[in-house]
Structure 1
Amino acid sequence: MRQKLFFTGLIVMFAFSAIAHYTHMDMTLQFAISAIAIVFAAGFLGKATESVAHYAGQRLGGFLNATFGNAAELIIAFFLVKEGLFDMVKASITGSIIGNLLLVLGLSLLAGGLKFKQQHFNQQLAQHNSTLMVLAVIGLFVPAIFVGAEHFTVEKDHFLSLAVAVILILAYVLWLLFSMVTHKQMLEDSEMSADHGEEPAWSKGRSVLMLVVATVMVAFISEWLVHTLDTFTTRFGLSELFVGAFIIAIVGNAAEHSAAVILAMRNKIGAAVEIAIGSSLQIALFVAPVLIIASALMGKTMDIIFTPIELTAIAVSVFIAKSVSGDGQTNWYEGVLLLMVYCILGIAFYLV
């Protein structure tokens, strides 16, 4: 019954979003309808990914969940790049990283901790993830410091941005090789390997089909949403930084929110942590660099120079997430701490 209501809501909101866009309704109304529609579509994407993950295995499934959970974010950002809204793209990247590390992980630890006194996951995997996040911070800090201090020319700025982008992508690809091939057994989590007798939502073929359909729906709604942002931002006096870092990031991360929290409440905290931190890693080491390369191919390169505010937010998020997840065990209070840091950053970003 619940599933039927969800799919009815998905179809209705997708139809409303299309009607609002093509009949040129009021931009604020378009934004509201598209934002609700993309939450439904992201939830559908998460459900389809979870079903595919049942057949692919939990380790690969966590990667697929993070990948397709980030599909909405990547598609939205691609259209923003196409529109030349580079500041909003960087803000959405920042928001996605801090949203996954603080909001998604925080809600997961809180929800799981309220049901189970203490939860455990693979400590070595957590340490490797933390080290990779530090690498991502270095990759963002170095260009900002050098370009600002040395007053690089535009050509040098773009060359450095593209070089760092390629290096970060290489680091991410090698991490996938390390974690899923050469050291797969060492980083495997026993609770992530078990399916606890759960049945997948659909057959293997239908799961793949649903995954494709969900991705297409997200792509359409994302484009409609992007066209409303300029008017929405101006009308409500919001900065591009706040809209990109919080509104777009929260909407785009809907799939991770639901999947990670549900897994944590099933005592699969390892899978939840993998989704939250793995998604942040994918944004920082793969999505952001790909967007920079894509912008260059479009003829107008987006640099990798983030503002001091964005860099501070990312660094703070990585520091607290690393501190909380480093020992391989969690409780509800650690989730509260992450959410508190997210609220502090949210208020600060709103006031910019």
Structure 2
Amino acid sequence: MKFLKVLLIFIPLSIVGEFMHFSPTVNFLLSALAIVPLAGMMGEATEEISCYTGPKIGGFLNATFGNATELIISFFALKSGLFDVVKASIAGSVIGNTLLVLGASMLLGGLKYKTQKFNKKVIEVSASMLLFAVIGLSVPAIFTHTISQDLLNTKYEGLSVFVAVIMFIIYILSLVFSFFTHKDIYAVSGDEENLEKAKWTLKKSILVLGVSTILIALESEILVSAVEPMTKSLGLSEFFVGIIIIPIIGNAAEHSTAIVMALKNKMDVAVEIAIGSSLQIILFVAPVLIFLSLIFTPMSIVFNPFELAALIVSVLIVNRVANDGESNWLEGVQLLAVYVIIAAAFFIV
């Protein structure tokens, strides 16, 4: 966290760069570096709030605000009509969480501990839900390839909204499942101990959370405005920026939290951060972005074949890894290897 705080210097630098009309590449880099520590502060604030609310509500807040950065960046991309970037960042967040974050956690945790165990029941529920969500995302894409283009133009937006509504309802029901009907599965021991760990007052935590959110919104606007000219000047595709670079920026703090948990032999938390965050991206962030797009220009929920293939592969691997309730460093290497291969393929495409 100390390293992240050093990066706060990039907040004023990025604002100066925007007003002084620095090159798009420099502005993109400065705003990206500014977002990383802000996302970290947002994560730290939610962790402090969880000390007052208890681990269950705290975990929910952590997951929600952990994806807030991604949602804010995507909102400004949506407003600018960068639909490919938005959809790529949704897919990239899921791929990054399930392969990069989980892989790094398993590798580094596995190097310190020979075998790490996690709650198989909880992870199985989340992994199965994630598989369902990806299947839900696949249906509109299959639909677009099986009907004529004329019908596609009139039916396709309605289908996207319908799928988004179903996804959002499933998200609400998953909260009911974890907080009410099956809360015993998610029971965490040592609640009293967790409540004593607050380093900040509740007022300070809420203030930091609010200020971080506002600054992330400001930096996201700078970052998104630089995407198109930056990609052209560097010869990169917006697709690659959306699926690899933006998710890494938006989720950097969350990634480091998962790795720290794995190093503390709290693999339950690390795996749940990776899978739970991916689940929330598909069931909450994606539908919200579809609904918000209706204010500007309606965006479809149709992903291209490359994104879908990568999503399905990632989720199938996670389900396989979660099957035995334990992990080791070799599984981490395998997940990271798949991520590197996918990233290289998207860079070429």
TM over 0.5: yes
* Conserved? CA contact 1:62–1:274, under 8 Å: no
Alignment correspondent of 2:115: 118
Alignment map for 1:71-220 (pairs within 5 Å)? 71-151=68-148, 152-190=151-189, 195=193, 199-220=197-218
Alignment correspondent of 2:293: 295
Deviation of 1:157 (Å):
0.1
* Conserved? CA contact 1:63–1:278, under 8 Å: no
Deviation of 1:195 (Å):
4.9
Alignment map for 1:5-16 (pairs within 5 Å)? 6-10=4-8, 12-16=9-13
* Conserved? CA contact 2:48–2:199, under 8 Å: yes
Taking structure 2 as the reference length, the TM-score comes to 0.95
Deviation of 1:197 (Å):
9.3
One-letter amino acid of the counterpart of residue 242, structure 2: G
One-letter amino acid of the counterpart of residue 31, structure 2: S
CA RMSD of superposed structures (Å): 1.8
Alignment correspondent of 1:263: 261
User: Cα–Cα, structure 1 residues 310 and 8, in superposed 2: closer, same or farther, change >3 Å?
Assistant: closer
Q: Could you give the per-residue CA deviations for residues 273-303 of structure 1, whole angstroms, max 9, x where no partner exists?
A: 11111110011111111111110132x2101
One-letter amino acid of the counterpart of residue 301, structure 1: P
Q: Secondary structure at the match of 1:186?
A: coil
Deviation of 1:240 (Å):
1.6
**Aligned residue among 223, 243, 246 for 1:245:** 243
**Aligned residue among 283, 286, 297 for 1:285:** 283
CA distance in 2: counterparts of 1:16 and 1:93, whole angstroms: 28
Q: How many residues are treated as equivalent by the alignment? A: 347
Moved more, 198-207 or 124-133: 198-207
One-letter amino acid of the counterpart of residue 206, structure 2: V
Give 5+ residue unaligned stretches, structure 2: none
Moved more, 270-279 or 180-189: 180-189
Alignment correspondent of 1:334: 331
Alignment correspondent of 2:321: 324
Deviation of 1:189 (Å):
4.5
* Conserved? CA contact 2:52–2:195, under 8 Å: no
Q: Could you give the per-residue CA deviations for residues 134-171 of structure 1, whole angstroms, max 9, x where no partner exists?
A: 11111111111112211333221011000000000000
Q: Secondary structure at the match of 1:139?
A: helix
Moved more, 317-326 or 105-114: 105-114
CA distance in 1: counterparts of 2:119 and 2:321, whole angstroms: 14
CA distance in 1: counterparts of 2:240 and 2:212, whole angstroms: 27
Alignment correspondent of 1:70: 67
Deviation of 1:101 (Å):
0.6
Q: Secondary structure at the match of 1:208?
A: helix
CA distance in 2: counterparts of 1:197 and 1:59, whole angstroms: 11
CA distance in 2: counterparts of 1:301 and 1:66, whole angstroms: 27
Deviation of 1:63 (Å):
2.1
Moved more, 266-275 or 167-176: 266-275
One-letter amino acid of the counterpart of residue 240, structure 2: F
* Conserved? CA contact 1:122–1:188, under 8 Å: no
